[in-house]
Amino acid sequence: MYKLSKYFHFVFKVADMGRRKANIALLVILGACILVAGPSTASSQPVVLKPGMPNTITLPNGEVVYDLNGEWDAVYDLNVLSHAGVETTASSKDIVKITQEGNQFVGKTLIGHTWVGKDIETVIGELEKNRFRKVHAVMITLTGSDWVPGKGEISEAGNKIVIKVKQGFPPSFMTIVLKRK
C-alpha cells in the first residue's frame, strides 16, 4: 500500500507542475527508460569471429570472416514511391546460391523471380571481419538493371543476411532477406 500511495503522490505532484513542466518530466522519464533498456539488447554487442567458429573461414592473412557459401532462401521486398507520392510495394521469393572466394562473394538466383531471371547474379560483395566491407544488389529500373550499393547486416551466427538498397528519385527501396537453407 505504501508503494501505491507513493506513486499517487508522484502523479499529483506532476499534475500540480502545470502542463508544460509535466510533459517535460514525462519525456525525461521516458528517455531514461529507453537508455536503461537499450544497451541490454543482444544485437548491440558485436560478434568477434574466431578460428573454428561455425560458418566462418580463416583467410590466408589470418582474418576470420563469415563463410557464406551455399544455398539461401531469399525474400525480396520492393517499395517504390511515385512522383505523386503513391507508394507501391511488391514481394518475391527465390533461392540464391552464394559462391565465396576469400572475402569476396557472388550470389546467383536458382529459380528466378519477378525482377531477376534464373542464373543471374543478384548480390555481390566483400566481407571484413564480422560484417560487409561493401555489398551491391541488382535493382530493376525503367532503363534496365543496375548494381546498386547497399547496406548489409549478417546475424544469427552467419545464418541470416539483410541487405537494403535505395535508388533514384523518387526513391525505390529494396530489402533482401537471405536465410541459410
Query: Can you give the C-alpha Rg of the chain in angstroms?
Result: 23
The total number of residues shown for the chain amounts to: 181
Same domain, yes or no: 12 and 94: no
Distances in Å between the alpha carbon of 39 and those of 27, 136, 156?
A: 19, 30, 19
Q: What is the pLDDT of residue 171?
A: 81
Q: Over 80: is that where the pLDDT of 89 sits?
A: yes
Q: Average pLDDT over the chain, rounded to whole?
A: 81
Distances in Å between the alpha carbon of 155 and those of 121, 161, 166, 169, 172?
A: 22, 6, 21, 30, 25
Encode pLDDT of 22-45 as tens digits.
555 444 454 544 544 444 344 446
Encode pLDDT of 118-168 as tens digits.
999 999 999 998 999 999 999 876 667 789 999 999 999 999 999 999 988
The domain of 82 spans 56-180
Q: Over 70: is that where the pLDDT of 70 sits?
A: yes
* Cβ atoms of residues 120 and 138 within 8 Å: yes
Domain count across the chain: 2
Residue 173 lies in a domain: yes
Q: Is the pTM of this model over 0.75?
A: no
**Cα distance between residue 178 and residue 72, in whole Å:** 6
Same domain, yes or no: 16 and 61: no
Q: Over 70: is that where the pLDDT of 180 sits?
A: yes
DSSP state of 54: T
